Structure 1
């Protein structure tokens, strides 16, 4: 059995050459299942069905056992703060408040009163301190490397947690706030928590395990939940082995909630029941070309600008991504999510394909076209390079092919270099590429994206592993702005730093933003109301808890 991870709605890898076969198979299935939607009368409105894609589940809800193949656990285990990516806010959850000291080296959480674990035992600050200190004792579960920054965690009383820092790094609030809390009375005796098989799943969330089956997991309401309980009794997570089976069940009203990429959703899903079948794809991460800034010619601003100006991003969106992915902002902000950080001068700034401008930029930088129509520098080096793309993302191969055509039209020879996912990732991490395609989300504010992509401390020399700055951007001004944000808890000072980083993206193109990839979300309003959508984007569907608590059965 292959390892599964159901912690977030993931992209479905689509291999070249399989998409047509998949669609043909789906058509056959649809013809065989005409009228299948009528069977939904047997489904009770007190049960929400949420589809998952994979082989089968293992009976392990451990939130810190990466790749365990366990079922979703986000409705069982909760965090101190709740991240709402739609609003860019961290909401009080198991903690009612937090405060940094004047020197930003101490962080104090106030823990919510009258919260219980789903076995009836009280939740307290001791559980929080236990969870965080467990990550110190067992680094394998320190998924956010918090102990690179922390020096101690204590619980002076049942409602207070005090965290001391080795060095100031205020963005740690998001990393700490989203960690799922563990019950000390259970986990203190399990040994290595990364290896613990958690079939009991004792959490503080609104649901708890009712039954387990490798093909469907059922959760029922936690009778001890600390706030208003969900308005329905159960959540069922069926798992489907193929996209076709998944889509068939979605189309024929067997599930209420889906989270995969599927082509032609308007025709294959919405038009089969326009009253109830909906989808909403909220921007979630930025797809970009990483240029290798430590290599020529990508260390030249003129070349990066020419590449960007040559690209037809609108065609990439409509042809490669079915129109589901909006063209990215030149600021690299995810909009409209991060609109509060947008510099007013960039309010109407968009990418526009301009081949003539690309040619003029290269000519002004001293490049001249050869007889083959390809630009070369003064030393005769042709402007030719490869675009690395993983073989399991057919949409990104198509997107890169469009880019290759755009670049050829202005005198740049960019060929497609398809690689296995492993080779593609290794080349990206080691800097052994010319230009590569990837995406990155970041976190609750734009800082987390900028820090991952631009921080020189997260870069490395070619041949050495980069943490996340795969473009190997190294710039003192960028680092100063990132440090400005990280060493203050003043929101206005942090906003100024982010806006300075926007300028760097617009003016210097450390990477080349292309499209904003969404969180895939299909839903059926036949049995439940209260779903988020473009007109009411109160939350994104990952994490799912706010949506779960807002849904009402019809």
Structure 2
């Protein structure tokens, strides 16, 4: 049995945080173990300690400034909207400076026009788009259909750009005047992929980019970025990026003025320092993973999207990729046995203290659950059941060795590793649970935590045994997840998915079939997803485990009207790259200052 430390103890600890006033110190959190007399329990709780802060957090007029953290993993490298892997470090480049044609509301599943005024399929192979009038770049030049054509054509010209694959099916993009754009496709277009591109490709100004070299476009720094968005680049340093509101933003009359004049994105030395700053009211929103939030939220010291467990929205699915090129992971029976051996409830309850929820076996996020084939999942899914593990393994010829672990059918020992990057503390706890529960079921697995570089190399080279990954996040289509899980063709370096190198042309064809279903054909999408889930749960080349949270802890000391489960706005409390056009910008528009007495 496990329970939380008493409310009085938490209150005392938090009161110590709140009264701290030293300008160069902040009270933060460390983990301690608490034993309750008469019960065999140990509970991790949070108590305050003091840690130095290298620089003052608040440096601008507080009532005009929105302080955020939790998106950047290193110093800012560039402002290039096409270098997606580095945009975490300059979050806001995409979504605040550069804008997309549409935005996506994950809570309703709808695309809403943004730079575009409208868009529709006028024929099975023709998509007609009309821009809003009076769109402008921040240098005062007009944003027109030519800018849209130019941006999409870059993908045709430079295969290094992430969206270039759309040109396998796109024949042409043409402008008709200043506002109308026509996309012409080959027969049977990839409707799902294109719909995803409509809110993820960020339009750039032709007049500033057309004379740039391929190197500049695909890998350049793009200093002092000129976009069409609600914010402008202001300044940056080693530990922060600063954006300032574009007072001439074209969208003010359409959507309203974003409330903060400045956004300061801070990189903290640790998540604990970020938590202390939120509690003190110096930091408005932290999108870090912060242990102990459940207690702090219930006591009212921070706010979260949900008032109760799991507290956070589901942002992506944590998947255990199994290297199907290595024995025994090349055996579907072993993979299925392993799925029954993993105690996901312990990951949810112990590693995350109920900040996440278990995934369904097919992996789709709750926002896409309407596409699940529940009959298939009920018939072929899995839950924690070590007895099933034993039954499957023994039925497939595996035998128990003298060391208490199963041996392969040929009598060889099974010794495997499950990995995640060192320092990813929540995942480190999770793989410990995976290894421990597997060992208890008779499968010899050891948790190993290489540094990020070594882990990523093994991931893309295919030299791991099994590893965690969560790269498929919120999306308007289930195609996004299954395209990542079953990416094809299999190549020497698998940098964008299918890391376990599951080589099944039938599955590849099923994912392609889904890509070609029109986005308004819900029944067709369900049928395509059903076929994918049937084969996926039969072969289990990877194991969906839990929904990683959209980590969001916010303070109402300065700003209020946050997006929560009770709010009606299509907003998300998230500053991660890729989320500004999925409700992050709407959050900025909806925020209100806390009234002063």
TM-score for the superposition, normalised by structure 2: 0.78
Q: CA shift at 1:234, angstroms?
A: 0.9
Counterparts in 2 of 1:393 and 1:298: CA distance versus 1, 3 Å: same
Q: Give per-residue Cα distances to partners, 1:309-358, cap 9 Å, x unaligned.
A: 111101112222232221111121111x1122122437889853111121
Per-residue deviation at 1:529?
A: 3.1
2:200 aligned residue (178, 186, 191): 178
In the alignment, the residues of structure 2 paired with residue 354 and residue 532 of structure 1 have an alpha-carbon distance, to the nearest angstrom, of 38
Change (3 A) 1:203 1:347: same
One of 78, 101, 104 as aligned partner of 1:83: 104
| Corresponding residue for residue 548 of structure 1 | 588
Structure 1 position 469 matched with structure 2 position 494: no
Residue in structure 1 matching 2:115, options 94, 101, 125: 94
CA drift of 1:255 comes to: 2.1
Q: Does 1:261 align with 2:282?
A: no
What is the match of residue 205 of structure 1? 229
1:320·1:395 contact (CA, 8 Å) conserved in 2? yes
CA contact (8 A) 2:417 2:446 kept: yes
CA spacing shift, 1:510–1:140, aligned 2, 3 Å = closer
CA distance in 2, matches of 1:307, 1:235: 50
| Alignment of structure 1 residues 295-374 onto 2, 5 Å | 295-335=326-366, 337-345=367-375, 352-374=383-405
Distance of 1:385 and 1:309 partners within structure 2: 17
Residues 237-252 of structure 1 aligned to structure 2 (within 5 Å): 237-243=264-270, 244-252=272-280
SS in 1 for 2:557: coil
Residue equivalent to 1:219: 244
Between 538-547 and 189-198, the greater mean CA deviation after superposition: 189-198
Distance in structure 2 (CA, Å) of the matches to 1:464 and 1:205: 36
Paired with 1:245 and 1:401, the residues of 2 have a C-alpha distance of: 26
Which residue does the alignment assign to 2:470? 439
Structure 1 pair 509–427 and aligned structure 2 pair: CA distance change class (3 A):
same
Shift of 1:179: 0.9
| Separation in 2, partners of 1:234, 1:123 | 24
Change (3 A) 1:379 1:141: closer
Matches of 1:26 and 1:194 in 2, distance apart? 47
Question: Is it true that 1:285 corresponds to 2:316 in the alignment?
Answer: yes
Structure 1 pair 272/361, CA: closer, same or farther in 2 (3 Å)? Answer: closer
- Indicate which of 65, 70, 80 corresponds to 1:62: 80
Contact 2:132/2:179 (<8 A) preserved: yes
**Distance in 1 separating the partners of 2:260 and 2:452:** 41
- Is the partner of 1:481 in helix, strand or coil? helix
Listed as ranges, the gaps of 5+ residues in structure 2 are 1-28, 33-43, 306-310
After alignment, is 157-166 or 204-213 more displaced?
204-213
Structure 1 unmatched runs, 5+: 1-17, 34-38
- 2:210 maps to 1:188: yes
Offset at residue 536 of structure 1 (A) = 4.2
Moved more, 463-472 or 289-298: 463-472
Q: Taking structure 1 as reference, are residues 196 and 272 closer, same or farther at Cα in structure 2, changes over 3 Å only?
A: same
Mark the CA change 1:315 to 1:157 in structure 2 (over 3 Å): closer, same or farther: same
1:110 aligns with 2:130: yes
Pick aligned residue for 2:148 from 125, 128, 138? 128
CA change 1:303–1:204 in 2 (3 A) is same
Query: Given the superposition, is the C-alpha separation of residues 535 and 298 from structure 1 closer, same or farther in structure 2, using an over 3 Å criterion?
Result: farther
Contact 1:71–1:217 (Cα < 8 Å) also in 2 = no
Contact 1:109/1:160 (<8 A) preserved: yes
8 Å CA contact retained: 1:59, 1:199: no
SS in 2 for 1:152: strand
Indicate conservation of the 8 Å contact 2:513/2:528, yes or no.
yes
SS where residue 98 of structure 2 aligns?
A: coil
Q: Does 1:506 align with 2:506?
A: no
Distance 1:137 1:317, change over 3 A: same
Give the equivalent residue in structure 1 for 2:182: 162
What is the CA deviation profile of residues 532-551 of structure 1, one whole-angstrom value per residue up to 9, with x for unaligned ones?
A: 22344844332211222222
SS in 1 for 2:176: strand
Rounded to whole Å, the distance in 2 between the matches of 1:142 and 1:483 is: 18
When residues 319 and 94 of structure 1 are mapped into structure 2, their CA distance, relative to the original with a 3 A threshold, is same
User: 1:412-445 deviations in whole A, cap 9, x for unaligned?
Assistant: 1112333232222222222222222222315321
Matches within 5 A, 1:390-409: 390-409=421-440
Native 8 Å contact 1:54 1:241 kept in 2: no
2:76–2:241 Cα contact (<8 Å) kept: no
Q: For residues 148 and 176 of structure 2, what CA distance do their matches in structure 1 show?
A: 12
What secondary structure does 1:390 align onto? Answer: coil
Name which of structure 1's ranges 316-325 and 348-357 shifts more when overlaid on structure 2. Answer: 348-357
Local SS of the residue matching 1:424: helix
What is the rounded CA distance, in whole Å, between the counterparts of 1:449 and 1:53 in structure 2?
A: 22
**Could you give the per-residue CA deviations for residues 184-228 of structure 1, whole angstroms, max 9, x where no partner exists?**
233334553345554443322223345666645141243242313
Contact between 2:341 and 2:384, CA under 8 Å: does it hold in 1?
A: yes
**Structure 2: how far apart are the matches of 1:396 and 1:117?**
42
TM-aligned CA deviation for residue 481 of structure 1: 2.1
Aligned partners of 1:535, 1:352: CA distance in 2, in Å? 32
Q: Give me the whole-angstrom Cα distance separating, in 2, the residues matched to 1:114 and 1:469.
A: 44
Q: Cα distance 1:407–1:347, how it changes in 2: closer, same or farther (>3 A)?
A: closer
- Give, in whole Å, the separation in 1 of the partners of 2:571 and 2:255: 18
Aligned length: 522
| 1:299/1:492 CA distance change after superposition, 3 Å | same
Change (3 A) 1:310 1:219: same
Deviation for aligned residue 1:259: 0.9
